[in-house]
Chain A
Amino acid sequence: MKEYDLVVVGGGSAGLAASIAAYEDGVKSILLLEKEKFLGGILLQCIHNGFGLHEFNEQLAGPEYAQRFVDKFMSYGIEYKVDTMVLGINEDKSIIYSNKEDGYSIVKAKAIIMSTGCSERTRGAIAIPGSRPSGILTAGLAQRYLNIDGYLVGKRVFILGSGDIGLIMARRMTLEGAKVLGVAELMPYSNGLNRNIVQCLHDFDIPLYLSHTVSNIIGKDHLEKIVVSKVDDKMNFIEGSEMEFEVDTLLLSVGLLPSNVLLEDMGMEMSSTRGPKVNEMMETCKEGIFACGNSLHVHDLVDFVTKEGREAGKGASRYLKGLVTRNEECLECVAGDGISYVIPQYVHVSNVDDNVEFKFRVRSPMENKKIVIKINDQVIKSVVKLHLLPAEMETVVVKKGEFTSNNGKLVIEVEER
């Protein structure tokens, strides 16, 4: 059985950044496994620009951004296999994969980085009522048909959910000659980045219906019509608010879910983000198995994915070199008032190099608030935020010296100013 120091599962932005960081930190025996034909991940179908503002200080298209990392990865000669599906991970960190050349194979790893990305929530997951014709698909799938394969899925389109992919697809399909009749969002606020609302909807006069959802689907073979209803604060359809739209396509942009089948099959408990719980070096509860990118939690900006990938790569390298200082003492980090989740969930202060960057999201849009970090009920840091949106991931950096205790509970919460 072949053995590597590090095996990276998934060759998107996170996996590439992680492999590169581990390599630069001295880990030379690396294998990256990717199920698609090419390295680069979901970015390869995101042909719009706006990637790389933080990393490169310029606006790149998705494939361009990905290519910079692929080039670097290749220049190091790191080993990889594409068209290769990872099927399972064993307790002893052996990895089962399958492809045409090697067949059904097993490799051993001393450390593993999981960067398997996310999948889109489907019609079934949100139980849209009505019939089941073709013409209802996730926005990401339509994006792939359009940008990779060169096919348009329809000409009269409605979009359910105001996630970024849906917004981007509203513009993209309009530019390809389709008529986008509107976007409905269940919540009273949008789930997409503000810049996407402006550039993809407002600029094209596409209406956004907040607190609305699709209440019926009509069509025998292919989609013919949808009914959109307003919802009350308990998310029930309001009778009399129905609007009908004759459309041939309904795109769903109703959320992304981290893909962690491989870890779940190992019996690993998932957190509220549907990703594994991790510590300050992105290590999961299984020693030597790390996670980053969209399979840890869904990111809105790829630049942050890259950064997180690097952290995981460095963490794995540290682990492989035996530099991890592990003791019983550990802070458990939890989401307090107004916050939906916090990453990392555990911090071993003794193992912190310089600082920890906490990532979190707020539960609902808020203005002019204070983000407060407490350790065992004592405030250690507070930051003023003028605008907070669930669609935008927030971060706060805590320096090693600012941790007042190595044990107990760290809470991040929103407070009035």
Chain B
Amino acid sequence: MYDVIVIGAGVIGGCVARELARYKAKVLVLDKENDVGNVTSMANSAIVHSGYDPKPGTNKAKYNVLGNKMYDLLTKELDVEFKRIGSLTCATNEEELEIIKSFVSRANDNGVEVKILNQEETRKIEPFVSDSVVGSLYAPSAGIINPFELCVGLFENALDNGVELLLNEEVVSIERLTNRFVVRTKDKEFETRVVVNAAGLYSDKIAKMVGIDYFNITPRKGEYFVLDHFEKPFVSHVIFPVPSEKGKGILVTPTTHNNYLLGPSSEFVEDKSDLSTDKPTLDNVRVNASKLVKNIPFNYIIRQFSGLRATGSTHDFIIDERDGFITLGGIESPGLASAPAIGKEAVRLVNSVLHLETNPYFNPFRRKVIRLKKMSIEERNDLIKQDPSFGHIVCRCEGVSEGEVVDCIRRNAGARTIKGVKKRCRPGFGKCQGGFCEPLIMEILARELNLDPLNVRYDSVKSYILQSETKEGDK
């Protein structure tokens, strides 16, 4: 019998699981995917929003502002890349200028520091905004984060502290018994006293399994371009247009690895698994991004992707507890920014049912990530002396060594797939998109996990790369 089962290993499930690890509790996380943080939490703008724009009094406003403040400590403990680079919401005409000015009082209500900058001041701190930008709302507390590393770090630390994780387990039914639940997947069942529903796009479906049906989730797609990193200077803040009902609009931002994101679009779709991209939408992203930022080097585009916002019918985050069933639903943007605060609140709700004792052995720190690129020559060579595989660079585009790949496989909640390695230490994220390094990563995964290369997967269990051997018997 588990104390708590968390359904969903996204950033929300991760924050809940790690927060629960602070208590003496038997906790299990279930996810249908082949890796943690593999759905919406890996396909977003990766911005820790300041929280100036959600309507005061909403859950979005409350948890965004609280969550934002928690990121300094959280990313330090988990050794996750995070930079408070500040955001500029840019007005391109007088009318928009009036709108951003009106946001100042909203920001004050939410307790967020902002400043209106005129054209000159805007240009001074961000020379790359387009000539039509007449002023901006500057929010210094906005930051950018590595969302892949965040999810991995949360789960690694949760697992280090005793939480259990099962992947490739899709919850298909939940039965409510007196003071407990039976959670069933395709061929397993688990008993638990409390369920936390952190199933993102499917949080409505999971809620309906126990008869909670007052909300629905409609997926809203956002498509992006990714630009490669380059030496020349380019935007150094998150650049937003003026927000509308449709959301925060198409933005331009650097990532924690000096790539750049252009997007997202905003389109309701029917299928909760439709992550396709299309030309008209991306053409529109191009046009809109160019309105905000000038001279975008489109020839550095290396990839397109899309993510699905879990837009709830109540238009706010749904956070409630009913007889031991805790729903965290409709967590669309600013869900990432809010996640640490939502995790804390969820555990408060768990405690209102279970009254857990604190875990005196909880260690909030994750073992430091090895980042060769950030080391001095001496540090690198010390490491290579201990383990020569850190001298063997396997990814030319991102400068990643064999040792780093091995390390990300050997950790708790470690990489199991080509994409898992890519999310953790970047080979395949660069210009060649894996063209050079994929065979090397495959070789390392096969060796470390004791797999036949034919069984190494790109991502899901069905996403094979090699289909058959050609020279059978030759080996």
Chain A residues in contact with chain B, CB under 8 A? 35, 83, 85, 87, 98-104, 119-120, 122-125, 127, 129-135, 137-138, 140-141, 144-146, 148-155, 176, 216-217, 220-222, 237, 248-249, 259, 261, 264-265, 267
What 15 new A-B contacts, CB under 8 Å, besides A98-B391, A141-B434, A220-B460? A101-B388, A102-B391, A103-B385, A104-B391, A119-B432, A119-B435, A134-B465, A135-B463, A149-B466, A150-B471, A151-B468, A152-B467, A221-B460, A222-B463, A264-B230
- Determine whether the beta carbon of A176 is less than 8 Å from that of B470: yes
- Determine whether the beta carbon of A132 is less than 8 Å from that of B305: yes
- Determine whether the beta carbon of A261 is less than 8 Å from that of B301: no
Q: Is B399 at the interface (CB under 8 A from chain A)?
A: yes
Cα A59 to Cα B127 with chains together (Å): 57
- Determine whether the beta carbon of A152 is less than 8 Å from that of B276: no
- Determine whether the beta carbon of B433 is less than 8 Å from that of A123: yes
- Contacting B381 at CB < 8 Å: which of A85, A104, A131, A221? A104
- Contacting B474 at CB < 8 Å: which of A119, A120, A150, A248? A150
Name which residue of chain A comes closest to B379, CB basis.
A104
Contact A127:B458 (CB < 8 A) given known A83-B392, A87-B399, A155-B467: no
Cα A237 to Cα B283 with chains together (Å): 14
Contact A153:B465 (CB < 8 A) given known A99-B391, A103-B384, A103-B385: yes
Q: Is B118 at the interface (CB under 8 A from chain A)?
A: no
Contact A134:B432 (CB < 8 A) given known A124-B302, A127-B279, A152-B470: no
Name which residue of chain A comes closest to B397, CB basis.
A261
Q: Is B190 at the interface (CB under 8 A from chain A)?
A: no
Cα A248 to Cα B432 with chains together (Å): 22
Cα A144 to Cα B304 with chains together (Å): 25
**What number of A-B contacts does a CB cutoff of 8 Å give?**
149
Return B326 CB to nearest CB of chain A, in Å. 30
Contact A144:B279 (CB < 8 A) given known A151-B467, A152-B467, A248-B467: no
* Binary interface encoding of chain B residues 258-301 relative to chain A, with 1 for a CB under 8 A from any of its CBs, else 0: 00000000000000011111110010000000000000000001
Cα A125 to Cα B434 with chains together (Å): 13
Tell me which residues across on chain B come within 8 A of A152, comparing CB atoms.
466-470
- Contacting B389 at CB < 8 Å: which of A100, A150, A221? A100
- Determine whether the beta carbon of B279 is less than 8 Å from that of A129: yes
Tell me which residues across on chain A come within 8 A of B399, comparing CB atoms.
87
* Binary interface encoding of chain B residues 357-377 relative to chain A, with 1 for a CB under 8 A from any of its CBs, else 0: 000000000000000000001
- Contacting B396 at CB < 8 Å: which of A35, A123, A134, A149? A35
- Determine whether the beta carbon of A267 is less than 8 Å from that of B468: no
Name which residue of chain A comes closest to B401, CB basis.
A98
- Contacting A122 at CB < 8 Å: which of B274, B278, B432, B467? B432
Return B178 CB to nearest CB of chain A, in Å. 39
Return A91 CB to nearest CB of chain B, in Å. 14
Identify 26 residue pairs between A and B in the complex whose beta-carbon atoms are under 8 Å apart, listed by A's number: A98-B384, A99-B391, A100-B384, A100-B388, A104-B381, A119-B435, A122-B302, A122-B303, A124-B226, A124-B303, A125-B301, A127-B277, A127-B279, A130-B277, A132-B275, A132-B276, A140-B435, A145-B466, A149-B439, A151-B467, A152-B466, A152-B469, A152-B470, A220-B462, A221-B460, A222-B462
Cα A120 to Cα B474 with chains together (Å): 30
- Determine whether the beta carbon of B391 is less than 8 Å from that of A100: yes
- Determine whether the beta carbon of B435 is less than 8 Å from that of A122: yes
Cα A130 to Cα B432 with chains together (Å): 20
- Determine whether the beta carbon of B469 is less than 8 Å from that of A151: yes
Determine chain A's interface SS by DSSP, over half rule.
Answer: mixed
Q: Is B187 at the interface (CB under 8 A from chain A)?
A: no
Contact A127:B463 (CB < 8 A) given known A98-B391, A120-B432, A152-B470: no
Contact A154:B397 (CB < 8 A) given known A124-B302, A124-B433, A267-B231: no
Tell me which residues across on chain B come within 8 A of A146, comparing CB atoms.
470
Q: Which 9 residue pairs of A and B lie closest in terms of their CB atoms, listed nearest first?
A: A124-B303, A221-B462, A85-B393, A134-B458, A100-B388, A134-B463, A103-B384, A151-B466, A122-B433
- Contacting B439 at CB < 8 Å: which of A101, A141, A249? A141
Contact A103:B380 (CB < 8 A) given known A98-B391, A127-B304: yes
Q: Is B31 at the interface (CB under 8 A from chain A)?
A: no
- Contacting B475 at CB < 8 Å: which of A131, A150, A176, A216? A150
Cα A152 to Cα B469 with chains together (Å): 6
- Contacting B470 at CB < 8 Å: which of A133, A135, A150? A150
Cα A237 to Cα B280 with chains together (Å): 11
Cα A403 to Cα B383 with chains together (Å): 57
Cα A155 to Cα B276 with chains together (Å): 24
Name which residue of chain A comes closest to B460, CB basis.
A221
- Contacting B464 at CB < 8 Å: which of A87, A222, A261? A222
- Determine whether the beta carbon of A141 is less than 8 Å from that of B438: yes
Tell me which residues across on chain A come within 8 A of B454, comparing CB atoms.
151
Tell me which residues across on chain B come within 8 A of A140, comparing CB atoms.
435
Q: Is B459 at the interface (CB under 8 A from chain A)?
A: yes
- Determine whether the beta carbon of B467 is less than 8 Å from that of A119: no
Name which residue of chain B comes closest to A99, CB basis.
B391
Name which residue of chain B comes closest to A262, CB basis.
B396
- Determine whether the beta carbon of B393 is less than 8 Å from that of A35: yes
Tell me which residues across on chain B come within 8 A of A259, comparing CB atoms.
396
Return A284 CB to nearest CB of chain B, in Å. 16
Tell me which residues across on chain A come within 8 A of B471, comparing CB atoms.
150
Tell me which residues across on chain A come within 8 A of B384, comparing CB atoms.
98, 100, 103-104
Tell me which residues across on chain B come within 8 A of A101, comparing CB atoms.
388, 391
Q: Is B420 at the interface (CB under 8 A from chain A)?
A: no
Return A231 CB to nearest CB of chain B, in Å. 11
Name which residue of chain A comes closest to B432, CB basis.
A119
Cα A199 to Cα B467 with chains together (Å): 26
Return B254 CB to nearest CB of chain A, in Å. 18
Name which residue of chain B comes closest to A150, CB basis.
B471
Tell me which residues across on chain A come within 8 A of B436, comparing CB atoms.
119
Tell me which residues across on chain B come within 8 A of A145, comparing CB atoms.
439, 465-466
Q: Which residues 92-134 of B sit at the A interface, judged by CB distance below 8 A?
A: none
Contact A264:B231 (CB < 8 A) given known A131-B276, A132-B275: yes
Tell me which residues across on chain B come within 8 A of A87, comparing CB atoms.
393, 399
Cα A149 to Cα B275 with chains together (Å): 32
- Determine whether the beta carbon of A149 is less than 8 Å from that of B391: no
Q: Is B335 at the interface (CB under 8 A from chain A)?
A: no
Return A216 CB to nearest CB of chain B, in Å. 8
Cα A151 to Cα B381 with chains together (Å): 36
Name which residue of chain B comes closest to A83, CB basis.
B392
Cα A46 to Cα B433 with chains together (Å): 21
Return B144 CB to nearest CB of chain A, in Å. 21
Tell me which residues across on chain B come within 8 A of A176, comparing CB atoms.
470
- Determine whether the beta carbon of A103 is less than 8 Å from that of B381: yes
Q: Is B13 at the interface (CB under 8 A from chain A)?
A: no
Tell me which residues across on chain B come within 8 A of A144, comparing CB atoms.
439
Return B141 CB to nearest CB of chain A, in Å. 32
- Determine whether the beta carbon of A154 is less than 8 Å from that of B467: yes
